[in-house]
Amino acid sequence: MERTWTSELPRRCGERVLLKGWLHRLRRLSGVSFLVLRDARGLAQVVIDDADLAAALDRLHSESVLEVEGVAAPAAQAPAGVEVRQPRVRVLVAAAAPPPVPLFQPTLRAQLPTLLDHAPVTLRHPRSRARFEVTAATMAGFRASLRARGFVEIQTPKLVAAATEGGANVFGVEYFGRRAFLAQSPQFYKQIMVGVFERVFEVGPVFRAEPHDTPRHLNEYVSLDAEIGFIRDHRDVMAVLRDAIAGMAEAVRIEAAGAVALLDLTVPEIPDAIPSVDFRDAQRLISAVTGERLEGEPDLAPAHEAWLGEWARREHGSEFLYVTGFPMAKRPFYTHPDPADADFTNSFDLLFRGQELVTGGQRLHRHEDYLAALAARGQDPELFSGYLEAFRHGMPAHGGFGMGLERWVSRLVGAANIREVALFPRDLSRLTP
């Protein structure tokens, strides 16, 4: 007999079905017991009116793996209006111990560190799982939307010889007697690959040795990257990014519809043109209201991003806001200056619900500009010889962006801490599970 998913039960009323899954909960009442079986798609209620079977199930720990064969029947009070009756139950694997945190409650009741310590089990909870359904749909939507626009997916090395985003936040690795690093981003390789495919994207892990403990930083996260050749300036990149995010939102709505309903999410509408504010204007707006002196500050603090998020919602009815024209001082050496003012750049951040989600911009593309930019920062061009070779041999004007996958999902599901949307987060104190 073929297996039926719990989610298919409503369509199988009146039929004999075979379910497989985990013992989510056993509720013993005086005359009858209810077994709630969980599989990867949902829950099913199984009516146990055989006292011996109920007693046998009661001796099992929750999370034991079961096979249940019975008849699907309409039942108004059961999940999705259907339950399984006259069951035959086979124990496939008896769990060796009770779960560290009870999984049957609608919401997990434990502190975040406990949930993370026991992630191999707590991730099974329907609400935990739902967050990663949103993650999976996001990646699918990102890929689909860029592929439809002629982008080619690449995978670039994560063991690298030089820091891409500045030297401080990089993990060193012992590499056959030499020093190597874990890639902070696919930046150099995605740019090089513009010379091959013109339009590329990558979904992959990146590593940041940031020694701080914040609710929005991980030491390993998933970066959604793209790079585009033959652009006029950063505004062409912003248009592609807008479409990529619209594709992500659409995929979450369709492919993760169950998760969206369970978590009661509002998936944002992406405006055709995302509102945009120049960095200096943004500082003036904030200063005018808060009285802070921000002139000369090279970056926005998290509180400023939150303020701008509120402003965008109020003034533009948008949950997204581009901030453009960041000062050169805080941007990596590959950043293209603003042709009108070399102290500023053709770069941008995209804020989503008051938090930085994306950084991107136009890059330098002339070999001599790279040599000058490295010299100005006192960097040895020899360290970047592989990267520079691409520019020596002709590269078009290009630009791209990098987006933190967990940042997107955490805003979407309203997570208080980004660790809630990383399967097995890596942070200052956490290298396991």
Binding region for ligand AMO (CB under 6 A): 165, 185, 187, 208, 210, 217-218, 221, 223, 225, 356-361, 400-404, 406-407
Kindly tell me the burial class for residue 338, based on how many C-beta atoms sit within 10 Å of its own C-beta (0-12, 13-18, 19 or more).
Answer: buried
User: At closest approach, how far in Å is the CB of 232 from ligand AMO?
Assistant: 17
User: Which of 29, 38, 32 lies closest to 9, judged by CA?
Assistant: 38
Nearer to ligand AMO, 128 or 191 (CB): 191
353 sits in the region (left: phi over 0; alpha: psi -120 to 50; else beta) called left
In 134-269, beta strands by DSSP E: 152-153, 159-160, 172-175, 178-182, 199-207, 220-229
User: At closest approach, how far in Å is the CB of 324 from ligand AMO?
Assistant: 13
Q: Give Dmax (Cα) for the chain.
A: 84
User: At closest approach, how far in Å is the CB of 97 from ligand AMO?
Assistant: 34
Kindly tell me the burial class for residue 299, based on how many C-beta atoms sit within 10 Å of its own C-beta (0-12, 13-18, 19 or more).
Answer: middle
337 half-sphere exposure, CB direction, 13 A CA radius: 13
User: At closest approach, how far in Å is the CB of 224 from ligand AMO?
Assistant: 9
Nearer to ligand AMO, 83 or 319 (CB): 319
Nearer to ligand AMO, 138 or 359 (CB): 359
Nearer to ligand AMO, 33 or 276 (CB): 276
Which amino acid makes up residue 147? R
User: At closest approach, how far in Å is the CB of 131 from ligand AMO?
Assistant: 15
User: At closest approach, how far in Å is the CB of 215 from ligand AMO?
Assistant: 10
The CA distance from 192 to 225, in Å, is: 13
Nearer to ligand AMO, 21 or 360 (CB): 360
54-to-93, 116, 272, 341, 388 alpha-carbon distances in Å: 17, 33, 57, 76, 70
User: At closest approach, how far in Å is the CB of 389 from ligand AMO?
Assistant: 19
User: At closest approach, how far in Å is the CB of 111 from ligand AMO?
Assistant: 21
Nearer to ligand AMO, 87 or 360 (CB): 360
Q: At residue 119, what are phi and psi to the nearest 5 degrees?
A: -50, -35
Nearer to ligand AMO, 24 or 217 (CB): 217
Nearer to ligand AMO, 185 or 283 (CB): 185
CB neighbour list of residue 32: distance below 8 Å, 6 or more residues apart? 47, 48, 49
| Radius of gyration (C-alpha) of the chain in whole angstroms | 26
